[in-house]
Amino acid sequence: MERENKLLIICLDGLDYYLTLKWKISKLLQKIHGRFYVGDIRILYTPLIWSSILCGFSVEEKGYGYEEAVRRSMGTLRVLHDLKKKIFGEKRFWIIRRLLIFLRLLRANFIMPTNLLRETFLEILEDRGYKVFALEVPGYNEINNGRFRLKMHELILSKKLEDRMAFIKEVKNDTINRFNKTQQALETYDVVMCYSPLPDLAHHLFLKGIKSRILIYKTYRWLEKNVDKYLLKPAYDLNFNVLILSDHGFDMKNFTHSNYAFWSSNVELSRPIKTYRDVKDNILNMLRGKNVEK
């Protein structure tokens, strides 16, 4: 199969373009690399940004903003969300939401409505006859990411660095499992997309001081080593196009998501990736050579 008919998309949450350059994380930079703007998404929340990348437009413009996303993520408990203003009030509702998190009744996985799912490049490519594999993609088919999000928010309140480090180790082990599954998918699928919540979780948990900065640096190096081992080398050997993406960077001074995300590619692109709105078109152009009957 020719190169233009095979694509691996590696999603690394919160991978910061400037830190990747500063620390010379060379394997992730690939042949060409750059940053793209996500700042016109009103709330830079991970599931909303990935959903917008998948669709090629801001999903907020289609009615899938933060509040609606939270409401849908509550499943059968969304009735509490719908009644919050009438019964609980905004402030009291968040107290109830924290209680639901504590009781492990809230999963915090985010899946777009069906009409938006149909707009994603994954669905479009599947309709074109490509064999598509997507693993834990926020907004699309995540199952376990919500558990890590909720645990992170618990640990932000903890003063024990050891607890945070143990959690990141758990996420690393889960990421290796995802990489293994993705590597296997390269043998039988045309389009493969996988997601890791690293390094974003490390950014949120290791905020201040030299030791925290060292732990974040080590997380970047760990990602470089394992992305190369499990994904890049096998994908290059199988003649895949490889696109590495993040959904935002991290503002180390203000401890929050930044307006620019990361991209890199092992092949030239059809057009520059200047904003998240450019990713979908690049991917569809990259793979338009396929002509397979379903």
Nearest residue to 140 via CA among 251, 52, 70, 203: 52
Q: CATH 3.40.720.10: which residues of the chain?
A: 3-62+112-286
Residues 11 and 223 sit within 8 Å (Cβ to Cβ):
no
- Rounded to 5 degrees, φ, ψ at 113 are -60, 155
Dihedral of the alpha carbons of 94, 202, 136, 147, in degrees to the nearest 10: -40
pLDDT in tens, the chain (294 residues): 445 589 999 999 999 999 999 999 999 999 999 999 999 999 999 999 999 999 999 999 999 877 777 776 665 555 555 555 555 555 555 555 555 555 555 667 889 999 999 999 999 999 999 999 999 999 999 999 988 998 898 898 777 899 999 999 999 999 999 999 999 999 999 999 999 999 999 999 998 889 999 999 999 999 999 999 999 999 999 999 999 999 999 998 888 999 999 999 999 998 899 999 999 999 999 886 543 333
Alpha helices per DSSP H over the chain: 17-22, 26-29, 46-55, 66-73, 78-82, 90-102, 114-117, 121-127, 145-156, 161-185, 200-205, 210-227, 233-237, 279-286
57, two tokens? 């437009």
- Alpha carbon distance 105, 61 (integer Å): 30
CA 180, CA 232: separation in Å to the nearest integer? 12
Amino acid sitting at position 197: P
Give the whole-angstrom CA distance, residue 65 versus residue 59.
Answer: 7
Q: State phi, psi for 133 to the nearest 5 degrees.
A: -120, 125
CA 293 – CA 145 distance, rounded (Å): 34
State whether CATH 3.40.720.10 applies to domain 3-62+112-286: yes
pTM higher than the cut 0.85: yes
The identity of residue 171, as a single letter, is V
